[in-house]
Amino acid sequence: MSALRRQWLWPIALAASTLCGLLSALAGEGGLWWLLCWVALGVPLVTIALCVARRRSSGGR
């Protein structure tokens, strides 16, 4: 895998997850749609929290 593709893989995946979550929130009303919305919008937030926790545990470097 090229360095450019490796560098942009996660940002594109997180953007796709966010877009999927926002569209499912607009498209559906309750039930499975809300579950899909919460999961899809939660993935980027969990990713951010894990990256911050990992950075703090490594001493901020």
Whether residue 5 is contained in a domain is answered as no
Q: How many domains does the chain have?
A: 1
Read off the pLDDT of each residue in 33-49 and give the average, rounded to a whole number: 94
Whether residue 23 is contained in a domain is answered as yes
pLDDT of residue 4: 84
What is the rounded distance in angstroms from the CA atom of residue 42 to the CA atom of residue 39? 5
What is the rounded distance in angstroms from the CA atom of residue 53 to the CA atom of residue 40? 21
| pTM for this entry | 0.76
Whether residue 51 is contained in a domain is answered as yes
Whether residue 52 is contained in a domain is answered as yes
Range of the domain at 29: 13-57
